Amino acid sequence: MSIHFSNSFFLHSIDAWEQDRKERFNLDALTRSFHESVPVLDFTDWRITAVERGYSETVLPLNPSSSNQYITHQAALMLLAADYTGGTALASVFHMTPIIGFHVSENDSAAYMWGAKATIHWFSPSCQDLVCKASIEKNKWEMLARRYMEDKKVITTVPIMMYNGDKLVAKADFTYWAQSIRGLRRNAFDIKKINVLYEHKTKTTAKLIVGLRAMEQEKAIDERLFDDPYAFMLAGKHGITLARRFSAYSPQLQDMVSARTLHLDKTVSSFAQKHKAFNVINIGAGYDSRFWRLQFPNATIYDLDLPIMLNERKRIFDYSKKENINNIEIDITEQPLDEALRKAGFDTTLPSFFIWEGGSMYFREKEIDFLWGPIAKMMNNDSRFWFDYVSEDLVKNTTGFASAENFMKNMRKNGRTIHQWLQRHRKSCRKVQSYCR
């Protein structure tokens, strides 16, 4: 959503805040979202009870799930409740801004928010329902909102007061860090300057996909769609946990990833049988192990990704055993693909198989045109381009299938802004339509 108001307008407009409250701060809906994203909050029945601009209030009930051996609140859970109370108050200052993990995001203005530091003082045992209240001084609202809208880092400390009735039982100070996805990407290509949270986001997305491939390996040999002996090693505990957690809310995702993996395996293998020598250009290689588990001695393979991901691949794989695989560092939104490949000695006379697996739906029209133009230049009549895409009905939530709509909601809550581009990008598709099969 494009916001054309000045900060002063939306910070002081009652109508603007009421619109924001309706969009982002429906108390029941937001509490449910927190429960989905942070299961311990659901387990303890923590809930949001009030949100105003710069203010939030939550309740941590005293119950068997939240209490300790003395039947008072567990200290760590009090800090947890304070954390999300202060974060909600800070989120209210960023007008109409989705918070990754809790709101559905439609564009790169969505916010990543993390706790950077916390202190807490317990004054007395909490033996009633704990009411947490977080308040941000009004004179800070405009400064914080402006910094965020300029894609700068926002770092601020929010005090959270905790009460049993009228009695103050604890006080916490949480320092939060927040920035838009757009701001996080600024140094994505620079290993020394890349934001640690953007690095985490990039690796986490790749870990999720390889974790889903690993789950396919848990099936009986005669039931699994493909064999990937590298999947569990590549996914690690992080990737497996991500895949299981995401599959609990979007069970169709694992089948989708497995189906496209099988299809692409077969398509590349069929292409290899038709050519004595050929190129493979794997755009956004991530933790893909396809060209390690499948043998294509007649192929020259180019794995393309950000430096941070290629460093991961070099750490994991022994490239001395695969002389036909080349790693190319590239940010495909800023660097022309053909220039990067030619610098690596790409042979344009050979048939080429371009792969963009699970990528197209996350890019906008301008970015796709920037990528597809060079691909069209480099493809000859024997070349092929494999990609997957998302339909308009799925993006607009008009499929009529609840499982599909839940899938889209969960992807968007986790910061994946999915676009339907098959219709919007016909011009780009025509550039290579002779080669897309």
Structure confidence by residue, pLDDT tens digits, 384-425: 999 988 777 666 666 666 766 666 666 666 655 544 444 444
Q: Which CATH architecture has domain 7-184?
A: Roll (3.10)
Tokens read off for 217: 């390996």
Pick the residue with more confidence: 434 or 281?
A: 281
Question: Which of the four pLDDT bands, split at 50, 70 and 90, describes residue 300?
Answer: very high
Distance (Å, rounded) from C-alpha 73 to C-alpha 58? 15
Q: What are the DSSP calls for 91-159, one per residue?
A: HTTSTT-PBTTTS---STT-EEEEEEEEEEEE-S---SPEEEEEE--HHHHHHHHHHHHTT--EEEEEE
Q: What are the DSSP calls for 152-204, one per residue?
A: --EEEEEEEEEEETTEEEEEEEEEEEEEEHHHHGGGTT-TTTS-HHHHHHHHH
Mean pLDDT of 148-169: 96
Side-chain-side CA neighbours of 218 within 13 Å: the count stands at 10
pLDDT at 205: 86
* Sheet (strand 111-122) strand order: 47-52, 55-60, 130-135, 154-164, 167-180, 111-122
Question: Which of the four pLDDT bands, split at 50, 70 and 90, describes residue 224?
Answer: very high
pLDDT at 403: 66
Phi/psi at 141 (nearest 5 deg)? -55, -50
Question: Which 8-state DSSP code applies to residue 5?
Answer: S
Tokens read off for 183: 């701001």
In the predicted model, what is the mean pLDDT of the chain? 87
Pick the residue with more confidence: 339 or 110?
A: 339
Distance (Å, rounded) from C-alpha 159 to C-alpha 359? 41
Is the pLDDT score of 377 beyond 60?
yes
Q: Which CATH number fits domain 199-431: 3.40.50.970, 1.25.40.10, 3.40.50.150, 3.40.50.300?
A: 3.40.50.150
Question: Which 8-state DSSP code applies to residue 398?
Answer: -
Contacting residues for 308 by C-beta, under 8 A, at least 6 apart = 188, 191, 194, 199, 202, 203
How far CA 10 is from CA of 16, 24, 184, in Å, comes to 6, 15, 24
pLDDT at 110: 84
Exposed e or buried b per residue across 302-323, where buried means at least 16 C-beta atoms within 10 angstroms of its C-beta: bbbbbbbbbebbeeebeeeeee
Q: What are the residues facing 180 on neighbouring strands?
A: 111
Helices 231-249, 402-413: axis angle to 10 degrees equals 120
pLDDT at 184: 82
pLDDT at 4: 39
Question: Which of the four pLDDT bands, split at 50, 70 and 90, describes residue 8?
Answer: very low
pLDDT at 355: 96
Q: Is 150 exposed, middle or buried (0-12, 13-18, 19+ CB in 10 A)?
A: exposed
Phi/psi at 177 (nearest 5 deg)? -120, 130
Is the pLDDT score of 161 beyond 50?
yes
| Residue range(s) occupied by CATH 3.40.50.150 in the chain | 199-431
pLDDT at 13: 58
pTM of the model: 0.78
Is the pLDDT score of 12 beyond 60?
no
What would the pLDDT profile of 175-187 be if each residue is shown by its tens digit? 999 998 888 888 8
Q: Which amino acid is at 254?
A: Q
How far CA 390 is from CA of 213, 215, 225, in Å, comes to 20, 23, 22
Q: What are the DSSP calls for 241-307, one per residue?
A: HHHHHHHHH-THHHHHHHHHHHHHHHHHHHHHHT-SSEEEEEES-TT--HHHHS--TTEEEEEEE-H
| Residue range(s) occupied by CATH 3.10.129.10 in the chain | 7-184
What would the pLDDT profile of 346-371 be if each residue is shown by its tens digit? 999 999 999 999 887 777 778 888 99
What would the pLDDT profile of 45-100 be if each residue is shown by its tens digit? 999 999 999 999 999 999 999 999 999 999 999 999 999 999 999 999 998 888 88
pLDDT at 2: 37
Question: Which of the four pLDDT bands, split at 50, 70 and 90, describes residue 248?
Answer: confident
Under 8 Å between Cβ of 275 and 353: no
pLDDT at 364: 78
pLDDT at 297: 92
Under 8 Å between Cβ of 376 and 434: no
* Sheet (strand 352-356) strand order: 325-329, 299-305, 278-283, 352-356, 384-387
Contacting residues for 157 by C-beta, under 8 A, at least 6 apart = 117, 173, 174, 175, 176
Token pair 């588990």 is found at 293
Distance (Å, rounded) from C-alpha 321 to C-alpha 304? 19
Under 8 Å between Cβ of 248 and 300: no
Pick the residue with more confidence: 414 or 426?
A: 414
CA-wise closest residue to 424 among 348, 353, 352, 369: 369
